[in-house]
Amino acid sequence: MMSTRQRQPAPCLTSARRSRLALAAAGVLVLLLGAASSAARAVEIRFERVADGVFAHIGELGPRSVANEGLNANLGLVLTPAGAVLIDSGATFDSARQIHAAVKRITALPVRWVINTGGQDHRWLGNGYFKSQGAEIMAHAQGQADMRNRGNDHLETLRAALGAKVEGTLPTLPTRWLAAADEGLEIGGVVFEFRHRGGAHTPGDMLVWLPQQRVLFSGDVVYVDRMLGVIAVSQTQPWLATFAEIERLAPARIVPGHGRVTDLATAQADTREVLLALRAHMKKALDEGQDIGAAVKSFAAQPYLRLANAAELVPGNASRIYLELERE
């Protein structure tokens, strides 16, 4: 027997409603794709064990880019019973947040201290984030003027390279300045020793030495695998004096500012020998009355072209060392 109940027709979507639903779906898709794209572009920060309680992130050897968020440098992490010590804070507020996330994958300890090994952007422009987390931030007092003078310039250069990735970043100075040439501190129960010999790549460059583990964080005093950078604020004479202090310490392992974790012999070959060769050649050129252009062209760079970025950086390094020697 047939039912007397009639089937109701399915509701009909108006064209306007279909358009609204399509727009909403498209918006969700854009958000999902944007999140996936953002995650894909996020810099990869991974701390690897160097010694008991000591870790390092090894940055890319190439230039700053959107992909690496300006963090083409190495970082350090030391675990103490009282909290974590981060060595260098990254180039931006956002990359510092990502550094913190990488620390949390290693330890549940809070980052209570940050050490800036020098005045280059990726050493300290992440300070603002870690200050907001309550960390004490330390650097050498000889780097204070350099940080003040170049902080905004760093930020504008990064903005040109990274665009929106720099949003939220403000040059934030350390909260504690170390004044002595040699200073030892017990931080969270672990002994740290700091050595400053007048600067190197930047005026505030200092060594962070862990005597108990015989591990040295050199900051930009040591480059391996890639050509070092001599910039306008660099001083190669104290740079070599700082390197001599590394030789005196004779570390078992060196975490350089750039390049893989290394030993003293490799650091000597990739940093000290480059500086000595450039200074010797430019001094001879000056003594013989060569102008700067001829002196740069006559430098025999071939032995150092095995280092990444050497072809691009050697001419500028040579010219700035020539000008430095003129002032000595």
Give the pLDDT confidence of 34-77 residue by residue, as tens digits: 333 333 456 899 999 999 999 999 999 999 999 999 999 999 99
Q: Give the pLDDT score at 43.
A: 80
Distance of alpha carbon 90 from the chain centroid: 5
Output the pLDDT for position 8. Answer: 41
How far is it, in rounded angstroms, from Cα 187 to Cα 217? 16
Least Cα distance to 266 among 277, 256, 280 occurs for: 256
Give residue limits of the domains in the chain: 42-264
Coil, helix or strand at residue 84: strand
C-beta separation of 113 from 85 below 8 A:
yes
Residue type, 266: T
Counting as low any pLDDT under 50, the low residues of the chain are 1-40
- Please state which architecture CATH assigns to domain 42-264: 4-Layer Sandwich (3.60)
Encoded tokens for 295: 């002196």
CA distance 196 to 200: 9
Compute and round to an integer the Cα radius of gyration of the chain: 26
pLDDT value of residue 154 = 97
Q: Quick check: 281 and 318 in contact, CB under 8 A? A: yes
- Joined together, the tokens standing for residue 288 give 């013989």
- Bridge partners (DSSP) listed for residue 256: 219
Element (H, E) at 215: strand 215-223
Cα distance between residue 111 and residue 100, in whole Å = 8
Instruction: Give the model's pLDDT for residue 212.
Output: 97
**Nearest CA among 162, 129, 168 for reference residue 41:** 162
d(CA 64, CA 72): 6
Please report the pLDDT score of residue 183 as a whole number.
97
